[in-house]
A and B are shown apart, each in its own frame.
Chain A
Amino acid sequence: MVRKTALDQGITLRPAGFVTRLVAFLIDQVILSAALSILTALAGAALQSFRLANLLGTEDLALQLALIAVGAMGVLLNLVYYTGFWLLAGQTPGKAFLGLAVVRVDGGPLRPGTAIVRWLGYWLSGILFLGYLRILADDRRQGWHDKLARTLVVYRGLDERWPALPGQAQLRWQDLQKRNDPGRVD
């Protein structure tokens, strides 16, 4: 079945700017931190009751292992949170609050590979935040992670005509550019 695209329904896409994305990112980080704190507390209590320190013979080693476990858990949670929400909803809760969505540059929904590359790109962009600051100067408002995964973050707004799932948002960036600037050559 051929679904109606967002463009067919008269919705135009506008790449989101740095401030909106930063606020969305901070909201996501708050959610992630809260979740990680709860998980850490639960895991700590569970490890304590299983007497891991006694099993290993030394408490220092148990502490180091616990720190490694918490770190690994944080990274895993981060991966599952971001890629999961991008793939399932096309937006994380922070992005949803600010009316943003993540799409491929050709307007389609993110594939698992794209999502993972984008997530890995987050870490790359985190180097001195240069990759994130790139959003400010880029014509398409893309950070390094967006360039790497060939994705765009766009304003979705509260337009109810927007398809419910990203899979239905078959918008093409080139079409969009032509529509807004017919004389433009990519």
Chain B
Amino acid sequence: MPDKTEIERMGNESGDLQLLARLLVGLVYAGSDELLSRLRALGPVVAADIEAHTGTVPDDETMGDVLSYLFVGTLLCGQRRMARRMRRRLDLARKAAGWMLGGVDLLTRNPLAQPFRQPVERLMWTALFEGQQAITEGRREAQTSRLLAQRTVEQVVDDVVEAMIENPELIVSVQRLVRQQSAGLTGTVVSNTRQLTVSADDMVEGIVRRLLRRGSRPELPPVPGILDAGSDRGDDNGA
């Protein structure tokens, strides 16, 4: 596993963008690891609970419940069957590819076929070599990203907790800020998008009408509500 100095060296070499990409990859790895480990730990507990309740049909079971069980059962059984079938087909495809390559190999093992065989063979070896290199690189990158994300998250959490311990009023401010932001953010995004599209409407229309040599359109009423601000700009082209 690469150490901290190696990560720093690599970061300086590759630039901030790659560091960010590594952080994202690392977060995905760390997040899915955490989730999977929890799911695996919960699996036996859930299975034991289900084992204990299997066969008991509740008295208040409705037709809707039965239909939903049928649907879920069908879905899960279908998924299992599909996976089995896919596995069989993949095996078959692998065998067929093996037979085909073997046949081609036999047919081209003669001096006449060498001029065709050699470039293809070279290409295949190059592809194999590059693929192997990519796998090695990927393995190293995955480990680096994981470590990078782990250290970054730890550091950020430490800093935040420290800051909150030092300034208790910060928690109240953050809570207030989050409450205000979540309420206002949606409205702002919607309003900005609408104003933007209203302006674009008139601009595009103005260009098209000029291209088609059509006269100006009869003046339209202003845009209602929150869009009024945007219509001031937009009406210039439409009029």
Contact surface of A with B, Cβ cutoff 8 Å: 11-20, 23, 42, 44-50, 97-99, 136-137, 139, 141, 155-160, 162, 176-177, 179-181, 184
Contacts and interface: CB of A to CB of B under 8 A. Distances in A.
A19 B197 contact: yes
Contacts of B217: 139
Contacts of B225: 99, 156-160, 162
Which of B191, B208, B212, B225 is most buried by chain A, counting CB atoms within 10 A of its CB? B225
A23 B191 CA distance: 14
B204 A18 contact: yes
Interface in B221-239: 221-228, 231
Contact of A98 (B194, B222, B228): B194
B204 A17 contact: yes
Nearest to A12: B221
B227 A177 contact: no
26 contacts: A11-B224, A14-B224, A15-B220, A17-B201, A18-B204, A19-B197, A19-B201, A23-B193, A45-B82, A46-B75, A48-B82, A49-B77, A98-B193, A99-B190, A99-B227, A137-B208, A137-B214, A139-B218, A155-B198, A155-B224, A156-B224, A156-B225, A157-B227, A158-B226, A181-B218, A181-B219
Given A18-B205, A136-B209, 17 more contacts: A14-B222, A14-B231, A15-B220, A17-B201, A17-B202, A19-B204, A45-B82, A46-B71, A46-B75, A50-B74, A136-B208, A137-B208, A155-B198, A155-B223, A159-B224, A159-B225, A180-B221
A120 B201 CA distance: 25
A179 B217 CA distance: 16
Contacts of A141: 205
Contacts of B78: 44-49
B32 interface: no
Contacts of A99: 190, 194, 225-227
A19 B201 CA distance: 5
B151 interface: no
Contact of B191 (A13, A15, A158, A176): A158
Which of B198, B219, B226, B231 is most buried by chain A, counting CB atoms within 10 A of its CB? B198
B81 interface: yes
Given A97-B190, A180-B221, A17 B74 contact: no
B79 interface: yes
A137 B218 contact: no
Given A46-B74, A49-B81, A157 B223 contact: yes
Contacts of A157: 194, 223-228
Contacts of B177: none
A47 B194 CA distance: 43
A14 B220 contact: yes
A146 to B, nearest CB: 15
Contacts of A19: 197, 200-201, 204
B79 A45 contact: yes
B138 to A, nearest CB: 29
B74 A12 contact: no
A141 B209 CA distance: 12
